[in-house]
Amino acid sequence: MKKCKFSENEILTYIEGAGSSQFIEHLPDCSHCNAEIENQKYMSLLLNDYYKKAADEAPAINIWALIEDELPEKKSIKDTIADFFTPLFAFPKLRYAAAGFGALAIVFFAYQLYTPPESTETARGVEINYIESSKAQVMMLDPGVDQNNTNTAVIWIMEDDSSNGRS
């Protein structure tokens, strides 16, 4: 077979559908190029078939699964709390002590929260415990409970009018 003046690149360009007019015009008379074209087409078919088969046989790669495998193990809040408290219950004696402590603490705080303050009968009010005056006359008034249910008290220091404005 007589070798042709056109290069292999020219043949490949023709196969891809962009062959020059000169190359196309010489093809009917060139057995070399026709044989090369047939060869290239056959090679191309073989390669395509090979890659298709390889792609079908290869296992699918789940990238996220690979990443997730490398991440530290995730725990729910419930599991985290359980992990914290579980060692405390490992020993029966500690378990009973913890239960006793818990019960006492709840009773204590319930008592603090729900016990009303002492002497609620004087709530919202004032109670005079002691009064003493040796240098002035003092009067104590008890107006009683007003419309706002408030008990007020009044201590009045009596001053004579001679001290008015000079005190």
Partner 1 sequence: MRSVSLKYLLIITFLFLFSSPLAFAEDKAELKIRIINASFGEARVDSSIRNISTQLKGIFPFSSYQLIKTNILPLKEGSTNVIKLTESKTMEISTLNIKGSMIQLLVSVINNKVPILNTTFTLSNKGTLFLGGPKTPTGTLIIAISAE
Determine the Cα angle at 103 with ends 101 and 105, to 5°. Answer: 65
37 forms part of the interface with partner 1 (CB under 8 A): no
CA distances from 156 to 114, 116, 134, 143, 166 (A): 39, 33, 14, 13, 18
Residue 72 or 117 having the CB closest to partner 1: 117
Out of 8, 49, 68, 159, the only residue in the binding site for partner 1 (CB under 8 A) is 159
On whether the CB atoms of residues 140 and 128 are closer than 8 A, the answer is yes
122 forms part of the interface with partner 1 (CB under 8 A): yes
C-alpha 60/C-alpha 4 separation (Å) is: 47
Residue 69 or 161 having the CB closest to partner 1: 161
On whether the CB atoms of residues 27 and 57 are closer than 8 A, the answer is no
Q: Which two tokens stand for residue 147?
A: 């419309």
Out of 9, 76, 80, 112, the only residue in the binding site for partner 1 (CB under 8 A) is 112
In the complex, minimum distance from the CB of residue 157 to partner 1, in angstroms, rounded to a whole number: 3
Which of 125, 124, 133 shows the shortest CA–CA distance to 153? 125
Residue 15 or 82 having the CB closest to partner 1: 82
CA distances from 26 to 12, 13, 20, 37 (A): 15, 15, 10, 13
Q: How many residues sit close enough to partner 1 to count as binding (CB under 8 A)?
A: 53
Q: How far is CA 81 from the centre of its chain?
A: 17
119 forms part of the interface with partner 1 (CB under 8 A): yes
User: Of 9-17, 22-30, 58-66, 141-149, which part binds partner 1 (CB under 8 A)?
Assistant: 141-149
Residues at the site binding partner 1, with contacts judged by CB under 8 A: 81-82, 85-86, 88-89, 95, 98-99, 101-103, 105-106, 109, 112, 117-119, 122-133, 135-136, 138, 141, 143, 146-148, 150-159, 163-165, 167
